[in-house]
Amino acid sequence: MFVGREKHLQALNRSFGMGDFQFPVIYGRRRVGKTTLIKEFIKDKKSIYFVAVQSTAKENLEILSEQILTVLAPEAPRNPFRSFREAIEYVFERSLTEQFVFTIDEYPYLAGSDNSVSSILQAAIDKYHSESTLFLILCGSSMSFMERQVLGYESPLYGRRTSQFKILPFDYYEGAKMLHGFNNAEKIILYSLTSGIPEYLFRVKNNLPVEDNIQSLFFDPQGRMFEEPANLLKQELKMPETYNSIITAMASGSSKLNEIATRVGIETSQCSKMLAALISLGLVRKEHPITDPQSKKSIYSLADWMFVFWYRFVYPELSRITVGLGETICNEVISKRLSSHVGRAFEECAKQFMWRSQVDGKFSLKFNSIGRWWGNNAKERREEEIDFIALDDESAIFGECKWTGSPVGEATLDELIRKSKLFPQYTQKRYALFSKSGFTDSLKKNTETNCDVLLISVDDMF
């Protein structure tokens, strides 16, 4: 069943309907659903679909030749083309008389096996594009490669693409479309375990309780997620052991560059480069207090909630899980530590909800940026934090998120209002409270006519 990506699919179909040469570039991290999107797009179209392999140029040329001839010359002998240039020229020449899709998936592997392929494609595009009806798709999971070697200024293909699609994980709302039989709070929990990655959401068993899914996915040596983060690092990065140590340090609470470098035992310059690589993969984010993007108080945090969960709760226990103690460890995590993990992910869901509400016109929200804030309260001589602030030029929406078993009351709103006084530069202020367990009757009564206070329950988010 195809879920989400409707806008991407519509855009691809609109481009195909134009009937001229089109060259969309599709990229995003592994497991995010790029191939599923492409296959949904091509299912009713004549299409050559080639997946490059991490092997030699000879093997890739043989596979490519087979795919081309199967579609365009099914009766011809299956003799491989003599070169990539000959194969690509053949495809472009055929596209002068008929329209079809030509997809090269995992393009970085093909380009890695023969570094002339991008130049060959560039030459063919320049030669044929004005008369061609080819719908050429390049797709890749190495985001840094795709951005530099396909979209970047120094690439031979620079300026040739007609559109680009950076495929991101689902937000909590989109991801929930893949989850059936769970209440809304459980959907938030499952988002905190999958980070909205479609392949991981697909592995959730809708006929099992959340607790059983956690155990079978993460705390069973045969579980789909038992070694997933470690495997991803091995696929994407050189020196995976060092990257593993960096992520471990971050999952344990280190957030500043020098803290992480010291914890890992590497120079800050090397650590900075490795963090940049993790940022390019969508696994790490660099944050500043939202009101001061130039602040020197930058911190690094894990951007992938599955990685956060795995490195905090699974990785330290791999040996005990392997010898059969997974159920015991899982029960302990669920009873004592899961709530704090979900609470942090809930803040991310709240920010996603705010963006969705602005697009939908809900609550008459308007802001340009949203993010966490932390800083010094000079008057009271202490550090303060706010879960999120959504900013416009002269207005701000201050947000607090509570993943607790008790309804949120007036004290939480009063505390948020107190913190908002640290920002006199914003003349218009609103307040958004998000709660897992709803709100007290007194808070609801005292704010029911106050348009500046938004009370948003988990059910309101769906």
CB 9 within 8 A of CB 40: yes
Polymer length in residues for the chain: 462
Q: Round to whole Å and give the CA distance between 218 and 205.
A: 13
As given in the structure block, the two tokens for residue 432 are: 């958004």
CB 458 within 8 A of CB 425: no
Angular region, 249: left φ>0, alpha ψ -120 to 50, beta rest:
alpha
Closest of 385, 403, 342, 348 to residue 370, by C-alpha: 348
List, in sequence order, the alpha helices (H) in 240-288: 240-251, 257-264, 268-280
Compute φ and ψ for 450, nearest 5 degrees. -100, 105
Over residues 336-393, the pLDDT tens digits come to 999 999 999 999 999 999 999 999 988 888 999 999 999 988 888 899 999 999 999 8
Residue 272 has what pLDDT? Answer: 97
Q: Round to whole Å and give the CA distance between 103 and 120.
A: 16
* Residues above pLDDT 70, as percent of the chain: 100
Beta strands per DSSP E along 422-461 = 428-435, 453-457
393-420 b/e with 16+ CB inside 10 Å = b? eeebbbbbbbbeeebbbeebbeebeebb
CB 232 within 8 A of CB 30: yes
Q: Round to whole Å and give the CA distance between 34 and 199.
A: 11
DSSP β-ladder status, 428-435 and 395-402: parallel
Residues forming a β-bridge with 103:
49, 137
Residue in this structure with the two tokens 């035992």, named with its chain if needed: 265
Helix axes 184-194, 210-218, angle to 10 degrees: 10
pTM over 0.75: yes
Segment 249-254 shows an average pLDDT of 95
CB 60 within 8 A of CB 114: yes
Residue 289 has what pLDDT? Answer: 95
Segment 285-292 shows an average pLDDT of 94
Segment 161-190 shows an average pLDDT of 97
Over residues 73-126, the pLDDT tens digits come to 999 888 999 999 999 999 999 999 999 999 999 999 999 999 999 999 999 999
As given in the structure block, the two tokens for residue 107 are: 């393009």
The 8 Å CB, 24+ separation contacts for 112-116 are 112/54, 113/52, 113/55, 113/56, 113/57, 113/59, 113/60, 114/57, 114/60, 114/84, 116/84
Residue 27 has what pLDDT? Answer: 96
Residue 77 has what pLDDT? Answer: 86
Answer yes or no: is pLDDT of 1 > 70: no
> Which CA distances in Å does 27 have to 105, 175, 178, 182, 276?
10, 19, 22, 31, 18
Segment 313-322 shows an average pLDDT of 97
CB 24 within 8 A of CB 137: yes
3-state SS record for 232-252: HHHHHCCCHHHHHHHHHHHHC
CB 353 within 8 A of CB 265: no
Over residues 125-164, the pLDDT tens digits come to 999 999 999 999 999 998 889 999 999 998 999 999 999 9
Segment 274-284 shows an average pLDDT of 93
Task: Quote the Cα angle for 160-166-167, to 5°.
Answer: 140
Q: Round to whole Å and give the CA distance between 184 and 436.
A: 10
Q: How does DSSP classify residue 445?
A: H
Burial of 316 (0-12, 13-18, 19+ CB in 10 A): middle
Q: What is the mean pLDDT of the chain?
A: 95
Answer yes or no: is pLDDT of 327 > 70: yes
Closest of 384, 448, 398 to residue 428, by C-alpha: 398
Over residues 398-429, the pLDDT tens digits come to 999 999 999 999 999 999 999 999 999 999 99
Higher pLDDT pick, 293 / 215: 215
> Which domains does the chain carry?
6-166 (3.40.50.300), 208-336 (1.10.10.10), 343-461 (3.40.1350.10)
